[in-house]
Amino acid sequence: MPRKSSPTQIRSTAEFARHVGLARSTVSRVLNGQPGLKQKTINRVLRAMSETGFSRNAFALHLKGKRTASVGICMEGLLRVPAVLKLATLQKRLREHHYTSLIEVLDPDGTSRAVAHFLSMRVEAVIFIGYFAEGEIADRIRELTRLGVPHVVIDHPGVPGANTVTLDRRGAMEKVTRHLIGLGHTSFGLLGISESAKSTWDRLHGIGDALASHQMTLERNTLSFDHLHSRESNFEFGRSLAKSFATLPTRPTAYMTLNDEIGAGALRGFLESGLRVPRDVSVTGFNNQDICLVSTPQLTSVDQQIDQTIEVAMTMLLAQINQAGGGGPMVELIQPQLVVRESTGAVAS
């Protein structure tokens, strides 16, 4: 037989005060750290707290007008490694500012439900991390703005009126492309970066920028086989794409991929097809995850500068909370860092 939970549950300050033998208002004053109380009384209350495990009902507390000091975080459901790191860093920083965070990992269609929940919980701000359905997130931002609830969007650029922090993905791909052009490459394969996915347009533009300044164009100098393969696993997607490219009699000499997993898959695919990296082909990833160190050869990639991203997001958040937002939406681009490793090299002569 399990023991009954012996000390009958104390569920209110009234009961608790009775249990300690003090007035309700006295207990309340202790709990709120108000002055003018004997140390002995304070100790009596604190001891009883830990003995009984009593805790104040946060719902009554906030009803009375105490601020919730909470922030809602919407996480895009595809929990990729960089997104998780952002979440962890963000929650830690919020805690330092004495904010509690409510986190919802979203189903694709979930922003509406999640934000409604946050609003009913009277959060003081809402933060989005990831890339969401265009219409959905635009609606959310409009809703939050109308209600005067501060917000920050991390990673989803271009939402009208949104306070946004994003990696400069366009600049990132321009850097990557220039690096490859500098190695002599003039023909490029694109893996997972294409016009069909709106979330990759800015990267495409970055590639286009770099090509343009060397009299090349996306149309003439890049090639994509994305439509040929399904995309259940990023790694397998990259691997099968590489194999498709490998069968071409004449093929691009450099390959830019959407992320490190696709990049690592591509490396594998090329190696399995008998091509040597970087001697025959060069490959780049994106995100600079651990996985870049694991592959052979190690993968050239782009670092997201996650700490800096979160720092900027926090600044935007606090600016809004302190009413320091002087007008229009704030938009900041984080400058990525190109990390060159073994998977990119001079074009074979």
Partner DNA sequence: CTGAAAGCGCTTACAG
| # of chain residues touching a copy of itself (CB under 8 A) | 62
* Among 46, 51, 66, 212, contact with DNA (rule: CB under 7 A): 66
Query: Do residues 335 and 305 touch, judged by C-beta distance below 8 A?
Result: yes
Place of tokens 């719902």: 59
Residue 158 interacts with which of DNA, a copy of itself, none, CB < 5 to 8 Å by class = none
Task: State yes or no: residue 100 binds a copy of itself (CB under 8 A).
Answer: yes
- CA distances 337 to 29, 215, 217, 300, 334, Å, are 53, 25, 24, 11, 10
Task: Give the range of 64-72, 151-159, 189-197, 255-263 binding DNA by CB under 7 A.
Answer: 64-72
Task: State yes or no: residue 274 binds a copy of itself (CB under 8 A).
Answer: no
Query: Do residues 303 and 259 touch, judged by C-beta distance below 8 A?
Result: no
Residue 338: beta bridge partners?
302
**Residues in 17-46 that interact with DNA by CB under 7 A:** 21-29, 31-32, 34, 36-38, 40-42
Closest CB 106 distance from DNA, rounded Å: 25
Task: State yes or no: residue 155 binds a copy of itself (CB under 8 A).
Answer: no
Task: State yes or no: residue 63 binds a copy of itself (CB under 8 A).
Answer: yes
**Residues in 307-336 that interact with a copy of itself by CB under 8 A:** 327-328
Residue 328 interacts with which of DNA, a copy of itself, none, CB < 5 to 8 Å by class = a copy of itself
What's 116's DSSP letter? H
Give the integer Cα–Cα distance in Å for 9 and 180.
Answer: 68
Parallel, antiparallel or unpaired: strands 151-154 and 282-284: unpaired
**Tokens linked to 241:** 């794409």
Closest CB 140 distance from a copy of itself, rounded Å: 11
Query: Do residues 329 and 162 touch, judged by C-beta distance below 8 A?
Result: yes
What's 250's DSSP letter? S
Residue 31 interacts with which of DNA, a copy of itself, none, CB < 5 to 8 Å by class = DNA
User: Which of 2/65 has CB closer to DNA?
Assistant: 65
Give the integer Cα–Cα distance in Å for 201 and 195.
Answer: 6
Query: Do residues 306 and 89 touch, judged by C-beta distance below 8 A?
Result: yes
**Tokens linked to 160:** 């009208």
| C-alpha torsion angle, residues 109, 115, 116, 121 (rounded to 10) | 150
**Tokens linked to 292:** 């870049």
For CA atoms 180, 237, 289, 207, give the dihedral sign.
positive
Give the integer Cα–Cα distance in Å for 41 and 28.
Answer: 12
Closest CB 42 distance from DNA, rounded Å: 7
Task: State yes or no: residue 346 binds a copy of itself (CB under 8 A).
Answer: no
* Among 235, 237, 270, 286, contact with a copy of itself (rule: CB under 8 A): 235
Closest CB 256 distance from a copy of itself, rounded Å: 18
Residue 65 interacts with which of a copy of itself, DNA, none, CB < 5 to 8 Å by class = DNA
User: Which of 38/227 has CB closer to DNA?
Assistant: 38
Please provide residue 3's backbone torsions phi and psi, each rounded to the nearest 5 degrees: -65, 140
* Among 7, 8, 11, 113, contact with DNA (rule: CB under 7 A): 11
Task: State yes or no: residue 275 binds a copy of itself (CB under 8 A).
Answer: no
Task: State yes or no: residue 121 binds a copy of itself (CB under 8 A).
Answer: yes
Give the integer Cα–Cα distance in Å for 165 and 56.
Answer: 37
Task: State yes or no: residue 47 binds DNA (CB under 7 A).
Answer: no
What's 3's DSSP letter? P
Site of interaction with DNA (CB under 7 A)? 11-14, 16, 21-29, 31-32, 34, 36-38, 40-42, 56-57, 60-61, 63-66
Site of interaction with a copy of itself (CB under 8 A)? 1-2, 5-7, 9, 53, 55-63, 68, 77, 79, 81, 84-85, 87-88, 91-92, 95, 100-105, 107, 116-117, 119-122, 143, 145-148, 233-235, 261, 264-265, 267-268, 271, 290-291, 293-296, 327-328
